[in-house]
Structure 1
């Protein structure tokens, strides 16, 4: 898995751009350790150990090595580039190729006179390439894409704060007087719990699995077929009551109104957060799950930063419990220095 050679060793290589530089920035500089680049792939360690191999009549060292995985090279017996995608741009990278649009091809129309000057700008054609499999698929009318099962987003709002859609020519007073416009998925969920026995036995996030939202009349009706997945829209802990309403709806069944007996504990009491956490303490382990998942692949430095973010923005009920449960993962790099428990804790906490 060696690149090139290119640059001064081979100026005509396919990776060379118009400025005479390699598009992939080879050869890479020697590095003693791997580090993260800003908005890019990691900058991998490249030892200056003097090892040289002969590739295409040129001697190349570790600066020309392409990132690889030895197991995958042996398994598939082919050239296989493997990169570490560790930032949010990895998601953008995947979406770029999934949703980049139709396949395109650059074409050039010329006559038999090979010596004639060609104006590429004037003759440029922006065309779409349709291969035989795609043409056959479209001729027979087969579906091109589908999301299954479909995802339903459930609305979340406080009392009297639902979104209302209207046209610019509508009379606002008529809109206010019309009860249809004030209906939302959440308010009609409360109404269904008052009149339907099945509705009172399921959570809000499970509601679309048994009922269908009719946008025309803005009501829930019994579902007859098709499987769906539902998610309640996200809420930031800094939003206060809206966040704890979401937490409540994800764990409590049969809520019939905002002033319902279970909800009134939340919205009528001054210490809203304390009461809701006491109700859901046994079932709300989202912070434990968050740190448990992150500890499986994050380095200790990044894991400590996540722990500090949780302390700052989530205000956990029992921070000491989280620290003691994940202390070994949070202090893994310091424990390798064979420090005492006190010194390890102090070094880890001093960073944040």
Structure 2
């Protein structure tokens, strides 16, 4: 009760039939049957009753609107609740001279509701993504990334066969092996082929719908930016020379090949790149 009124708007009105109001809330039927009960000296009738179904409440929790779901699952449609917490000691003898390391005292904590915790414990899927997206890496000649452990000798690492293999170089080899690959650009390639990390090779795809996305490169990156532009047009190359070959002519650089392809005749590619980066 606030200022003599119930904040839940009781007592309600007598209603013959259950309806839904304009805000999506149910207006339950309340019979005017003349029955009352005395509580603390106050006569109460059906206008004071909170509608409920005892059997359903014991077994189910039913929702008919998104706002109720958000409440039950701690706003699952929003981000997780977060809290900034710090720990410190006080009441020491020499408290004034204690140094405070703010970095070590700062913790970015995350709150998980009981519903979300149970969902994760049972290993249910948190979200779905369809179709799957494959990120396609690429590199200039001799600049493929090499992954190694801290304790490994660099001379031994360089001698590994995997150093000369990458997803991008595997694309060249697949174009030599499969005739269907000759008609696909690099971004279209995952729709028909799948990359196997262990053998480090591309194989024909047997199932699933997949799309490819080439890594973004800013215009100021130089050679690799022009290489990325050409990858959107060149189909079935088997080497870097094939990428730089336009209409049977081998150009000395990727930039000249872009001009020959007509990609850099105007500022459209630069404008598109700036807009993509801004988004």
TM-score (norm 1): 0.42
Q: How many residues align?
A: 177
C-alpha separation in 1, matches of 2:233 and 2:266: 9
- 2:179 corresponds, among 197, 200, 224, to 197
Q: Which residue of 2 aligns with 1:100?
A: 79
99 and 197 in structure 1: CA distance in 2 versus 1, 3 angstrom threshold: farther
Q: How does 1:174-189 map to 2 (within 5 A)?
A: 174-189=156-171
Counterpart check, 1:269 vs 2:248 = no
For the pair 1:215 / 2:197, whether they are aligned, the reply is: yes
Bigger relative CO (Cα 8 Å, ≥ 6 apart): 2
| Aligned equivalents of 2:192, 2:167: Cα separation in 1 | 14
Taking the aligned partners of 1:254 and 1:127, their CA distance within structure 2 comes to 50
Which of 145, 150, 163 is residue 145 of structure 2 equivalent to? 163
Q: Within 2, Cα distance between the matches of 1:179 and 1:284?
A: 43
Which whole-Å CA distance do the structure 2 matches of 1:285 and 1:144 have between them? Answer: 42
1:243 Cα shift? 0.9
**CA shift for structure 1 position 211:** 1.1
**1:236-255 residue CA offsets vs partner (Å, 9 max, x unmatched):** 22222111111111111011
- Give the Å deviation of 1:156: 1.5
Q: 1:194 and 1:285, CA in 2 relative to 1: closer, same or farther beyond 3 A?
A: farther
* Greater strand share, structure number: 2
Per the alignment, residue 245 of structure 1 pairs with 227
- Asked if the contact 1:199/1:207 (under 8 Å) is kept, the reply is yes
Which of 104, 125, 129 is residue 113 of structure 2 equivalent to? 129
SS at match of 2:202: strand
Shift of 1:138: 6.6
- Provide the aligned C-alpha RMSD in A: 4.1
Q: Give the Å deviation of 1:207.
A: 0.9
Distance 1:238 1:100, change over 3 A: same
Contact 1:209–1:223 at 8 Å: present in 2 too? Answer: yes
- How far apart, in 1, do the equivalents of 2:193 and 2:79 lie? 36
Task: Give TM-score scaled by structure 2 length.
Answer: 0.52
Displacement after TM superposition at 1:100 (Å): 3.1
Cα offset for 1:280? Answer: 3.2
Distance change in 2, residues 1:127/1:136 (3 Å):
closer
Q: 1:215 to 1:240 in 2, by over 3 A?
A: same
8 Å CA contact retained: 1:102, 1:129: no
- SS of the residue corresponding to residue 162 of structure 2 reads coil
Distance 1:145 1:154 in 2: 23
Asked whether the equivalents of residues 210 and 222 of structure 1 are also in contact (C-alpha less than 8 Å), the reply is yes
- Whether contact under 8 Å (2:80, 2:111) holds in the other structure is no
Q: 1:103–1:128: 8 Å Cα contact kept in structure 2?
A: no
Query: Which runs of 5 or more structure 2 residues have no equivalent in the other structure?
Result: 1-21, 25-75, 84-109
What do residues 18-42 of structure 1 show as CA deviations (whole Å, max 9, x unaligned)?
xxxxxxxxxxxxxxxxxxxxxxxxx
The 5 Å alignment of 1:31-110 reads 100-101=79-80
Shift in alpha-carbon separation, 1:139–1:185, aligned structure 2, 3 A? closer
1:231 is matched with which residue: 200, 213, 227?
213
Q: Deviations over 1:252-272 (max 9, x none)?
A: 101111133x425798526x5
